[in-house]
Chain A
Amino acid sequence: MSQFNFTRRGLLRGGAALGAGLAMPTIFTSQARASYLNEPTGSTVTLGFNVPQSGPYADEGADQLRAYQLAVEHLNGEGDGGMMNTFTSKALKGNGILGKKVQYVSGDTQTKSDAARASAKSMIEKDGAIMITGGSSSGVAVAVQALCQEAGVIFMAGLTHANDTTGKDRKANGFRHFFNSYMSGAALAPVLAKQYGTDRKAYYLTADYNWGYTTEQAVLESTEAMGWETVNKVLTPLAATDFSSYITPVVQSDADILVLVHYGGNMVNSLTNAVQFGLRDRMVNGKQFEIVVPLYSELMARGAGQNIKGIFGSQNWDWKLENQLGSRYIGTNAFVQSFGTKYGFPPSQAAHTGYVQALLYADAVERAGSFNPCAVVEALEGFEFDGLGNGPTLYRAEDHQCFKDVVVVKGKENPENEFDLVEIVEVTPTEQVTYPHDHPQFAGGALGTCNPGA
Chain B
Amino acid sequence: MEAIILQILNGLDKGSAYALIALGLTLIFGTLGVVNFAHGALFMLGAFCAVTLSRLLSLAHVTVDPTRKDFLGNPLKVETPYVHEWFGPETGAAIIEWSVPLSILFAIPIMIVVGLAMERGLIKHFYKRPHADQILVTFGLAIVLQEIVKFYYGANPIPTPAPSAFAGSFDFGAMIGLDPGSIIYPYWRLIYFAFAAVMIAAVFAFLQFTTFGMVVRAGMADRETVGLLGINIDKRFTIMFAIAACVAGLAGVMYTPINSPNYHMGMDFLVLSFVVVVVGGMGSLGGAVLAGFLLGVLESFASMTEVLELIPGINQIIIYLVAIVVLLTRPRGLMGRKGVMEQ
Q: Which residues of A contact B (CB under 8 A)?
A: 54-59, 62, 232, 234, 237, 239, 241-242, 244-246, 248-249, 251-252, 264-265, 268-269, 272-273, 276-278, 281-282, 299-300, 302-307, 319, 336-337, 340-341, 345-346, 417, 419-420
Instruction: Evaluate contact between A299 and B156: CB separation under 8 angstroms.
Output: yes
**B332 located at the interface, meaning its Cβ lies under 8 Å from any Cβ of chain A in the complex:** no
B189 and A303 form a contact (CB under 8 A)? no
B164 nearest in chain A by CB position = A306
**Chain B contacts for A273, CB-based, 8 A:** 259
In the assembled complex, how far is the CB of residue A193 from the closest CB belonging to chain B, in whole angstroms?
Answer: 26
Is B6's CB within 8 Å of the partner chain A?
Answer: yes
Chain A residues near B300: list those with CB within 8 A.
244-245
Q: List 9 A-B contacts (CB under 8 A).
A: A232-B305, A245-B10, A245-B315, A251-B6, A277-B169, A281-B169, A303-B158, A305-B260, A337-B72
Which of B72, B159, B185 is within 8 Å of A303, CB to CB? Answer: B159
Among B155, B185, B259, B262, point to the contact of A242 (Cβ < 8 A). B259
Q: Is the CB of A269 within 8 A of B259?
A: yes
Please report the C-alpha to C-alpha distance between residue A232 and residue B305 in the assembled complex, in whole angstroms: 9
Is the CB of B308 closer than 8 A to any CB of chain A? yes
Please tell me if the beta carbons of B71 and A278 are within 8 angstroms of each other in the complex.
no
* Chain B residues near A346 (CB-CB < 8 A): 71
Complex CA–CA separation, A251 to B180 (angstroms)? 12
Q: How far is the CA of A58 from the CA of B152 in the complex (A)?
A: 13
Write out the residue numbers on chain B whose beta carbons fall within 8 Å of the beta carbon of A336: 71-72
B155 engages A57 (CB within 8 Å):
yes
Contact present for A249 and B305 (CB under 8 Å) = yes
Q: How far, in whole Å, are A341 and B258 apart by their CA atoms in the complex?
A: 36
Residues of A within 8 A of B13 (CB): 244
Given A241-B259, A245-B299, A265-B157, output 9 extra A-B contacts at Cβ < 8 Å: A59-B156, A62-B154, A268-B156, A276-B189, A281-B168, A300-B156, A305-B260, A341-B72, A417-B71
Report yes or no: B264 in contact with A56, Cβ–Cβ below 8 A: yes
Cβ of A234 and Cβ of B308 under 8 Å apart? yes
**Interface of A: prevailing SS:** helix
A265, B186: Cβ atoms under 8 Å? no
CB distance B155 to A54 under 8 Å? yes
Q: Which of B300-324 contact A (CB under 8 A)?
A: 300, 302-305, 308, 315-316
User: Per-residue 0/1 for B24-55: is the Cβ within 8 Å of any A Cβ (1 yes, 0 no)?
Assistant: 00000000000000000000000000000000
B259 to chain A: which residues have CB within 8 Å?
A: 241-242, 269, 272-273
Chain A CB within 8 A of B161 CB? yes
CA distance A277 to B189 in the complex (A): 10
Q: State whether A59 touches B154 (Cβ < 8 A).
A: yes
Contact string against A for B residues 255-279, beta-carbon threshold 8 Å, 1 for contact and 0 otherwise: 0001110101100100000000000
Cα distance, A282 to B171, chains bound together (Å): 11
Whole-angstrom distance between the alpha carbons of A272 and B188 in the complex? 12
* Residues of chain B at interface, number, CB under 8 A: 46
- The reply to whether B305 and A269 contact each other, CB–CB distance below 8 Å, is no
Chain A residues near B85 (CB-CB < 8 A): none
Which residues of chain B are near A306, meaning CB under 8 Å?
159, 161
Contact B156 A278 (CB under 8 A): no
A388 to B118, CA, bound (A): 52
Q: Do A276 and B156 have beta carbons less than 8 Å apart?
A: no
B133 within 8 A of A: no
B341 interface contact, C-beta 8 A: no
Instruction: Report how far A345 CA is from B75 CA in the complex, Å.
Output: 14
Whether A252 contacts B3 in the complex (CB less than 8 A), given A241-B259, A276-B188, A303-B158, comes out as yes
Contacts of B304 in A (CB 8 A): 245, 249
Asked if B66 is at the interface of the complex by the 8 Å CB criterion, the answer is no
What is the minimal beta-carbon distance from B76 to any residue of chain A, in angstroms?
A: 7
B120 interfacial by beta-carbon distance below 8 Å: no
Asked whether, in the complex, the Cβ of B156 is within 8 Å of the Cβ of A303, the reply is yes
List residues of chain A with CB within 8 A of the CB of B308: 234
Does B157 contact A268, Cβ atoms closer than 8 Å?
yes
- Residue of A at shortest CB range from B255? A242
A419 to B11, CA, bound (A): 37
Give the docked Cα–Cα distance between A270 and B154 (Å).
20
Contact check, B258 vs A276: say whether CB atoms are below 8 A apart: yes
B61 interface residue per 8 A CB criterion? no
B7 at interface, CB cutoff 8 A = yes
Cβ-defined contact, A56 with B71, below 8 A: no
In the complex, what's the smallest C-beta–C-beta distance from A128 to chain B, in angstroms? 30
B159 and A304 form a contact (CB under 8 A): yes
Q: Mark B129-155, 1 if CB is under 8 A from A, else 0.
A: 000000000000000000000100011
Report whether A278 and B184 are in contact in the complex, using a CB–CB cutoff of 8 Å: yes
Closest to A307 in B: B159
B305–A234 touching, CB < 8 Å: yes
**B2 in the interface (beta carbon within 8 A):** yes
Given contacts A234-B305, A244-B10, A346-B71, contact A305 B159 (CB under 8 A): yes
Residue B89 lies at the interface, judged by CB distance under 8 Å to chain A: no
A-contact bits for B55-83, CB 8 A (1 contact / 0 none): 00000000000000011100010000000
In this complex, what residue of A is CB-closest to B147?
A54
In-complex Cβ contact of B186 among A57, A278, A417 (8 A):
A278
Quick one: which of B182, B184, B189, B308 has the most chain A CB within 10 A?
A: B184
Q: From the candidates A56, A62, A246, name the one contacting B303 in the complex (CB within 8 A).
A: A246
B181 interface hit (Cβ, 8 Å)? yes
Shortest distance from the beta carbon of B48 to any chain A beta carbon, whole Å = 15
Partner of A269, one of B14, B181, B260: B260
Q: From residue B19, how far is it (CB to closest CB) to chain A in Å?
A: 15
What CA separation (Å) do A337 and B186 show in the bound complex? 43
Bound-state CA distance A203–B37 (Å) is 38
Across the interface, which residues of B come within 8 angstroms of A281, CB to CB?
Answer: 168-169
Task: Tell me, rounded to whole Å, the shortest Cβ–Cβ distance linking B78 to chain A.
Answer: 10
| Contact call A251/B184, Cβ cutoff below 8 A | yes
Partner of B70 from A249, A278, A417 at Cβ < 8 Å: A417
User: Is A244 within 8 A of B156, CB to CB?
Assistant: no
A409 → B minimal CB distance (Å)? 16
List residues of chain A with CB within 8 A of the CB of B159. Answer: 268, 272, 303-307
Determine if B10 and A56 form an interchain contact, defined as CB atoms under 8 angstroms apart.
Answer: no
Contact A265 B181 (CB under 8 A): no
Q: For A242, what are the chain B residues with a Cβ–Cβ distance below 8 Å? A: 14, 258-259
- Which 3 A/B pairs are nearest by Cβ-Cβ distance? A305-B159, A58-B155, A245-B303
* A249 contact set on B, CB distance < 8 A: 3, 303-305
B189 engages A237 (CB within 8 Å): no
- Say whether A248 contacts B71, CB under 8 Å: no
With contacts A232-B305, A241-B259, A269-B157 known, is A276 near B186, CB below 8 A?
Answer: yes
Q: Are B7 and A245 in contact (CB under 8 A)?
A: yes
Residues of B contacting A300 in the complex (Cβ-Cβ under 8 angstroms): 156
**CB proximity of B122 to chain A, nearest CB, Å:** 23
A306 to B163, CA, bound (A): 13
